[in-house]
Structure 1
Amino acid sequence: MTAGQIAALIAAGAFVLLVLLLAIPLIKLGRTLDEATIAIRKTHEGSAPILDGANTTISHVNTQLRRVDGITVNARAVSGNVSALTSLFTATMGGPLVKTAAFSYGVSKAIKARRERKEAKGKK
C-alpha cells in the first residue's frame, strides 16, 4: 500500500464520517417537516367547523341588523311626528301660554311691590 492509497482511504473514511454526521440532522429535519405537515392538516380539518360557525353567526348578525334598521326607520318616523306635534302645540298654545305666564308674573311682582310699600308706610 502506497502513501497515496492510504491518503485515499483516510479521505474516503472522512467522507463517510461526514455523510453520517450530516445524515442525522437531515433525518431529524425530515421528521420535523412531517410533524409540521400533520399539524397543518389537523389545523385545516379543525378550522372548517369554526368557519361554518362563523358564517352562521354572521348570517344571524345580518338578520338582526336588518331588524335594527327597520326599528331605526320607525324611530325616525316617530321623532318626525313628535317634532311636528311640538311645532303645532307651540304655534297654537305657546303664544297664549307665554302671555299668561308673563301676565301672572307681572301681577305677582305688582302685588309684592304694593305690599312692600304698605309695610314701608306702616313702619314710618
Structure 2
Amino acid sequence: MTGGDIAGLIAAGVFAVLVALLAVPIWKLGKVFDELRASIRTVTDETTPLIEEVTSTVSTTHQQLKTVDGITSHVSDASANLSALSSLAAATLGAPLIKVAAFSYGVRSAFAGRQVPARRRRSR
C-alpha cells in the first residue's frame, strides 16, 4: 500500500464520518416535516366542520335579520298611520273643541258679569 492509497482511505473514512454526522440532522428534519404534515392534516380536518358551522350560523342570522327587518318596517308603517290618525283627530276635533271652549268661556263670562252688582260694573 502506498502513501496515496492510505491518504485515499483516510479521505474516504473522513467522508463517511461526515455523511454520518450530516445524516442525523437530515433524519431529524424528516421527522419534523412528518409532524408538520400531521399537524396540517389535523388543522384541516378540524377547520372544515368549523367553517361549515360558521356558514350555517351566518345563514341563520341572515334569516333572523330578514325577519327583524320585516318587523321594523311594519312598526314604521304603524307609527306613520298613528301619526296620520292623530293629525286627523286634531284637525277634525281640535277646531270644534276650541270653538266650544271659547263659547263656554264667553257664556260663563257673561253670566259672571250679570251677577256682579250694578255699582261694581260701573266702576270697572
TM-score of the aligned structures, taking structure 1 as reference length: 0.66
Does 2:69 match 1:69?
yes
**Distance in 2 (alpha carbons) for counterparts of 1:20 and 1:96:** 111
Aligned to 2:109: none
**Distance in 1 (alpha carbons) for counterparts of 2:15 and 2:88:** 103
After superposition, the Cα gap between the structure-2 partners of 1:96 and 1:4, relative to the gap in structure 1 and judged at 3 Å, is farther
Aligned to 2:46: 46
Does 2:11 match 1:5?
no
Following superposition, the deviation at residue 12 of structure 1 comes to 1.1
Following superposition, the deviation at residue 90 of structure 1 comes to 4.5
Following superposition, the deviation at residue 70 of structure 1 comes to 0.5
State the one-letter code of the partner of 1:68.
Answer: V
Determine what percentage of the aligned residue pairs are the same residue.
Answer: 43
**Distance in 2 (alpha carbons) for counterparts of 1:64 and 1:2:** 92
**Distance in 2 (alpha carbons) for counterparts of 1:65 and 1:29:** 52
State the one-letter code of the partner of 2:34.
Answer: D
**Structure 1: 5+ residue runs without aligned partners?**
104-124
Deviations, residues 15-61 of structure 1 (Å, cap 9, x unaligned): 11111111001111111111111111122222232222222212211
TM alignment of 1:1-124, pairs within 5 A: 1-92=1-92, 93=94, 96=98
**Structure 2: 5+ residue runs without aligned partners?**
106-124
* Off by >4 Å, runs of 4+ in structure 1: none
Secondary structure at 1:4 match in 2: helix
When structure 1 is superposed on structure 2, of 63-72 and 77-86 the one drifting more is 77-86
